[in-house]
Amino acid sequence: MSNPAITPELIAKHGLSPEEYEKVLSILAREPSFEELGVFSVMWSEHCSYKNSRPELRKFPTTGPSVLVKAGEENAGVIDIGDGWAVAFKIESHNHPSAVEPFQGAATGVGGIIRDIFTMGARPVFLMDSLRFGSIEGDSEQAKTNRRLFSGVVAGIAHYGNCIGLPTIAGEVYFDESYSGNPLVNAFCLGILRHDQIARGAAEGIGNPVFYVGAETGRDGLAGAAFASRELTEESKADRPAVQVGDPFREKLLLEACLELLATDAVAGIQDMGAAGLTCSTCETASRGGTGVEIDIQLVPQRAKGQTPYEVLLSESQERMLVIVKKGREDVVKRIFEKWDLPYAEIGKVTDDGMMRVRNGNDVVVNVPARSLADDGPLYSREAAPFTPPAALDLATVPQADPETALPKLLAHPSIASKRWVWRQYDHMVRTGTAVLPGSDAAVFIVREANKILAAATDCNAIYCKLDPSVGARIAVAECARNLACSGAVPIGVTDNLNFGNPHKPENFYQLRAAVEGISEGCRAFGVPVTGGNVSLYNESPAGAIDPTPTISMVGTIADASHITTQAFKEAGDQIYLLGETGNELGGSHYLLAIHGRKEGAPPALDFDKEIAIHNALLGVIRKGLIRSAHDCSEGGLAVAIAESTFGTGLGATIDLGTTDQRPEVDLFNETQGRIVISTKASDSAALEKDLATSGVPFRKIGEVTAKQEFSIKTGANAYSWKVAELEGVFESAIPSLMEG
């Protein structure tokens, strides 16, 4: 079959602008072949090149004494955790594939992030996810579609993680109309390794053989990177061939085989075939090594007959790796991959000319400088629209609501309600390291081989980011750190997933730039490096762009098992305290959205110095054994936080907020930042108060844990009361009822 002529229409179909095509001509000094056009198309797509975001990403802090592999150098960053041990972790999106094929889109998103981790030489130990969908409430066709997407994505994540034997131990799920038609599926994986096990993805050693290992190449996932670099439209269903098909059982074999191979001295470089498949792995390893790579397409294991060089190069079939093997050690690769019953083939060699050269037998179909593909693509600084921060919410425009009916309604809102329906589908206990169940402020996982305790959380309030992207991004970092502090952990690093709309639209590009600057400010304040992550742009459906969603995943360490802290109240008679001060900020709150249907006003203010002081004070009293529970105040405010602390305990709480000149719903449901609800034994109250007073952070006793399963709260002259069982009932049943309906 002859290849089509290179026409302006074909160039546009490949996502290259006329200016970018002129750059291709100047690099090659000739017209590209059809295969070369495809190679430039995927490697210069936003998904692979970050051409619209890379200049902004340089603002992130990426260095520090604990950083062993920094962001952008390899597939994932690596952070030292002491005693010769390290962690590799990263988060990545599979948004567009999940929109058109939710089960496989989500499943292969999990598979891809796992490969990024074991490519570094790390053994993956746990997963998290951050998910966003349109509203699942009601009987509209859109709500039904959103429920189908939600169900399919959760099933896909569960399928892949459960089959490969990795626990999914934490995450977040939000629902908002802005995600209708364009769900967000962000998958996180963390692995453990020793310092001397770090693997690199560079093609080193002239003459070293290049091996293809893993599953055969098929036509699935064809040009998936280009698909992920354009907006979703009504015609996107036709892009289903761009969605990969995953096989977690084969990935498990590949994981074990690769780790066994890396334990030998046979490997000079290793790279997974993720976005852009064989194309990306070939040119990136060559570029990193300052070398060239030559391969023959006819030697690549293939799933179907008659696949063209174009299809083999651009396929994103899953469970595949490229390995640069030290010359003379080929038999080691063959022995290990035959043992694990996996395909393998020697498909080429490392060269000294800096070229990515692809042969189809005797014919050369691609002959391109590797660096021009991997590192020298076009970069753009798009126009950012002027932005005026929103004014504070005028409370006079907000009708008063009865808190006794508002609290159950908030707890039943799908974004706040229990996500047990989600995580009960995950095998969250496999590997027996999970120390805290999903649904808590942070995941806690014990890595027994390293004798280390890790904590992890993922956060982003997209309502805040929609109203003020910089403030919202700063809060996402602070809330992640606060969740870690509530678990007893100190943060060590951040990975982020930047989900935004079309960057060619100035208002969207402003959101991206402002969020990056907010994250950078937050990470510098907390002294944590950004170890890597993912940028996902063009998240738009015909209805418009998603709310900006810069998802933050933060990892921390806990020094001693006795410091592990959870949000649940422990015993009647324990004293309840509030760390931090309560303001009157209802702007951007879930109360305003769930009760009044409004998404407006200024998001709550954030003071990093005050936030960090509260975290440090909390960690200090946790280490002294003075804290029985800790839970941060986030969506839904103080009343939701206290209610959640009673659930599953058989206990209640009596709260008195004292004299106040604010409306009761402001005291109960505002989302002032930097607040944490803690409890302590009555006998430890004096010692706790002394320590907190010494630290200088604001705190006050607000109540007591009770044996009576009732939640009562007084604020000024107003008093409210709920049966804990009734609140817990609406909290736990909200999502199952919607999904069963």
Rounded CA separation 488/566 (Å): 9
Residue type, position 614, single letter: I
Phi, psi of 649 (to 5 degrees): -105, -20
Residue type, position 729, single letter: G
Q: How many residues does the chain have?
A: 741
Active-site entry in 47, 413, 563, 615? 47
Q: Name which of 628, 618, 547, 536 is nearest 580 in CA terms.
A: 618
Dihedral over Cα of 485, 486, 487, 488: its sign: positive
Active-site entry in 94, 159, 563, 631? 94
Residue where the block lists tokens 């349109």:
134
Rounded CA separation 229/389 (Å): 29
Dihedral over Cα of 396, 399, 405, 408: its sign: negative
DSSP conformational letter for 395: G
Rounded CA separation 188/460 (Å): 14
| In contact, 351 and 293? CB cutoff 8 Å | yes
H or E, element range at 212: strand 209-214
DSSP string, 302-341: BSSTT--HHHHHH---SSEEEEEE-TT-HHHHHHHHHHTT
How wide is the angle at C-alpha 432 spanned by C-alphas 430 and 437, nearest 5°? 85
| In contact, 630 and 677? CB cutoff 8 Å | yes
Rounded CA separation 459/445 (Å): 18
| In contact, 558 and 622? CB cutoff 8 Å | no
| In contact, 407 and 722? CB cutoff 8 Å | yes
Residue where the block lists tokens 């079309």:
502
DSSP 3-state of 710: strand
Question: What would the two tokens of residue 84 be?
Answer: 């010769």
Active site residue 14: no
Question: What would the two tokens of residue 681 be?
Answer: 């034994």
Residue where the block lists tokens 């054994």:
625
DSSP 3-state of 672: coil
Active site residue 94: yes
Reported in sequence order, the residue ranges of 96-138 that DSSP labels E, i.e. its strands, are 123-133
Catalytic site positions? 47, 94
